[in-house]
């Protein structure tokens, strides 16, 4: 009887290990997939992240410190894309509106939202 | 076009269309409203008003529409200037003109409506229910008005770029003021 209970516990542990393995694998896949975008906030407590070290790929020199992320890097991917498009269109909201197929005031409001986000980060 | 996108456009087309484009499109609707309204004896005499009349000329119909629209545009523009930094007059003009579009449904419904006799109604208020087409017009007027107010609100929101209670309060006050201004203007000018 005791032997059987131990065997069941062993099976449960094995299933638990398998479950954890796939859960972790999925988590790391998510992290790897998100490497295209610089993470700006802590995945645990959502506080703003800082740059701790920088590496030179050619000579492997490593610089360590505590550097603030640039304000633009703190913005979301879509906001960064918006700013890039804005610069490429020479700052013309009219051209941006035509490109995005949105109305002029809608695009202006999007820009105003980004401005207020930047102002909040700068504070 | 996805279903959600379609309904979104019906309630808030101003994400895609504003300014001169909205004004041009709105003018087409207002023009057709003026013509059909005259034929159906439907007068749009106020910011959110519609009345059945015994006789209506084309000039009267367009004057009613023009004065009520001008009142809404001017009052909303002033309200916008008070609450927002950057408000373009053309955005308010365009969005408010296009927001009138749902009233075209009432103008069309007016073609098939026979108004009950006023003297009969004063003697017996239940006489209102004798005309089915009139009841249909009354029932239809409620969703049309709600739709138009939703369009005006979204137009005002997009044009001003302001959110929250400040926007809602300015819009409600603006709408009431526009209704009063349009009534006074119609009373003095006509």
Read off the pLDDT of residues A48-106 as tens digits, 9 standing for 90 and up.
Answer: 888 899 999 999 999 999 988 888 888 888 999 999 999 999 999 999 999 999 999 99
pLDDT at position A116 is: 92
Decide if B96 contacts B171 (C-beta within 8 A). Answer: no
Position A21 confidence tier, pLDDT thresholds 50, 70, 90: low
Q: Residue B161: left if φ>0, alpha if ψ -120 to 50, beta else—which one?
A: left
Is the pLDDT score of B64 beyond 80? yes
Q: Is A69 on the interface with B (CB under 8 A)?
A: no
CA terminus-to-terminus distance, chain A: 67
A102: DSSP letter = -
Position B39 confidence tier, pLDDT thresholds 50, 70, 90: very high
> What's the rounded Cα separation, in Å, for the pair B133 and B116?
10
Q: Is B158 on the interface with A (CB under 8 A)?
A: yes
> What's the rounded Cα separation, in Å, for the pair B55 and B181?
24
Q: For a pLDDT cut of 70, what percent of chain B falls above it?
A: 98
Do B17 and A103 lie within an 8 Å CB cutoff? yes
Do A101 and B16 lie within an 8 Å CB cutoff? yes
* pLDDT, tens only, B138-175: 889 999 999 999 999 999 999 999 988 999 999 999 99
Nearest 5°: the CA angle A68, A73, A79 is 150
Is the pLDDT score of B88 beyond 90? yes
Is the pLDDT score of A29 beyond 70? no
For B110, counting Cβ atoms within 10 Å of its Cβ (0-12 exposed, 13-18 middle, 19+ buried), the class is buried
Q: Is B17 on the interface with A (CB under 8 A)?
A: yes
Q: For a pLDDT cut of 70, what percent of chain A falls above it?
A: 82
Closest CA to B13 of A78, B176, B23, B173: B23
Q: How many Å is the maximal CA-CA distance in chain B?
A: 55
> What's the rounded Cα separation, in Å, for the pair A122 and A119?
5
Q: What does the domain layout of chain A look like in residue ranges?
A: 1-36, 71-122
For B20-40, give the DSSP string. HHHHHHHHHHHHHHHHHHHHT
Decide if B179 contacts B46 (C-beta within 8 A). Answer: yes
The length of chain A in residues reads 123
Structure tokens, B82: 């008070």
Q: What is the average pLDDT across B70-86?
A: 93
pLDDT at position B151 is: 95
Q: What is the average pLDDT across B21-46?
A: 93
Decide if B104 contacts B36 (C-beta within 8 A). Answer: yes
Of A28 and B17, the one with more pLDDT: B17
ipTM: 0.81
Position B14 confidence tier, pLDDT thresholds 50, 70, 90: very high
List CB contacts (< 8 A) between A112 and chain B: 86, 161
**Interface A:B, Cβ pairs < 8 A:** 35
Residue of B5, B8, B13, B16 to mutate, testing the A interface (most A Cβ within 10 Å of its Cβ)? B16
**Coil, strand or helix at B177:** helix
């Amino acid at each position: 009887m005791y032997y059987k209970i131990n065997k069941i516990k062993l099976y449960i542990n094995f299933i638990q290990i398998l479950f954890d393995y796939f859960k972790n694998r999925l988590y790391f896949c998510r992290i790897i997939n998100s490497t295209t975008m610089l993470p700006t906030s802590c995945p645990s407590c959502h506080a703003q992240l800082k740059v701790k070290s920088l590496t030179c790929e050619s000579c492997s020199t490593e610089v360590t410190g505590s550097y603030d992320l640039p304000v633009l890097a703190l913005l979301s991917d879509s906001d960064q894309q918006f700013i890039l498009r804005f610069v490429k269109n020479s700052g013309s909201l009219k051209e941006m509106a035509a490109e995005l197929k949105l109305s002029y005031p809608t695009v202006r409001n999007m820009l105003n939202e980004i401005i207020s986000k930047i102002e909040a980060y700068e504070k | 076009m996805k279903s959600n996108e379609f309904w979104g456009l019906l309630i808030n087309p101003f994400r895609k269309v504003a300014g001169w484009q909205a004004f041009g499109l709105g003018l087409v609707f207002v023009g057709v409203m003026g013509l059909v309204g005259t034929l159906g004896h439907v007068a749009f005499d106020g910011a959110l008003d519609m009345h059945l009349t015994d006789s209506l000329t084309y000039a009267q119909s367009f004057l009613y529409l023009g004065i009520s629209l001008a009142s809404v545009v001017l009052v909303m523009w002033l309200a916008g200037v008070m609450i927002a930094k950057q408000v373009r007059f053309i955005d308010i003009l365009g969005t408010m003109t296009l927001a009138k579009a749902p009233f075209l449904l009432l103008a069309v419904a007016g073609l098939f409506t026979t108004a009950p006799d006023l003297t009969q109604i004063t003697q017996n208020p239940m006489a209102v229910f004798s005309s089915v087409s009139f009841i249909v017009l009354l029932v239809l007027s409620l969703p049309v008005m709600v739709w138009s107010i939703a369009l005006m609100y979204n137009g005002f929101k997009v044009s001003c770029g302001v959110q929250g209670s400040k926007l809602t309060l300015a819009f409600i006050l603006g709408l009431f003021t526009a209704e009063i201004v349009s009534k006074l203007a119609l009373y003095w000018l006509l």
